[in-house]
Amino acid sequence: MILSPEISPISIIPPLLGGVCLGLLSLSRLSSSGEMMNSATPRLWTTTSTVISAGILSKLFPVLRTTAYDDINISFPVLITSAVFLAVGAKLGRGSTFGNGIQGLGVSSLASLVHVGTFMAAGMITATSLSLGSNIPENKSTSLDFASSLPLVISALG
């Protein structure tokens, strides 16, 4: 299982722009109202508008439909386990990587620093352990692309 794409100057532009947009969004909220952004708890209208907006934007800008990643072959039990760990981690951390990483670190929160360190360490451990077993062929794997994983993402958000 290979999850990392080749890094090129072109492939880093979308994540870089996304990070800049998130930072500007957080900064504008903090400077205009003096408040941090609200909880990342999804609401029906938020999830619905996100999905509809993504569909509209992908039709208007076909380049948005391509990703730096090819289809990922992953077994269904691993996929479900990953989703459960993500949900449990967000609950235990009382927030998300956005809330702790962008907003929390931006206001020098020690708790957010600990959370981000934990996220990073867990990600490194997971990536390392997955790469150690990458030569082992997986049985009963399913090919996932963005379109087929969208229902799972929506159910994880809701």
Best CA proximity match to 73, nearest among 122, 134, 152:
134
| Cα–Cα distance for residue pair 29/107, rounded to 1 Å | 13
pLDDT for the residue 134: 55
Residue 99 lies in a domain: yes
Residue 141 lies in a domain: yes
Residue 71 lies in a domain: yes
Residue 8 lies in a domain: no
Total domain count, the chain: 1
Residue 142 lies in a domain: yes
10-residue mean pLDDT profile of the chain (158 residues): values are 55 77 79 71 72 81 64 74 77 68 76 80 78 53 51 52
pLDDT for the residue 131: 67
pLDDT for the residue 42: 60
Residue range of the domain that includes 90: 13-157
Residue 139 lies in a domain: yes
Residue 123 lies in a domain: yes
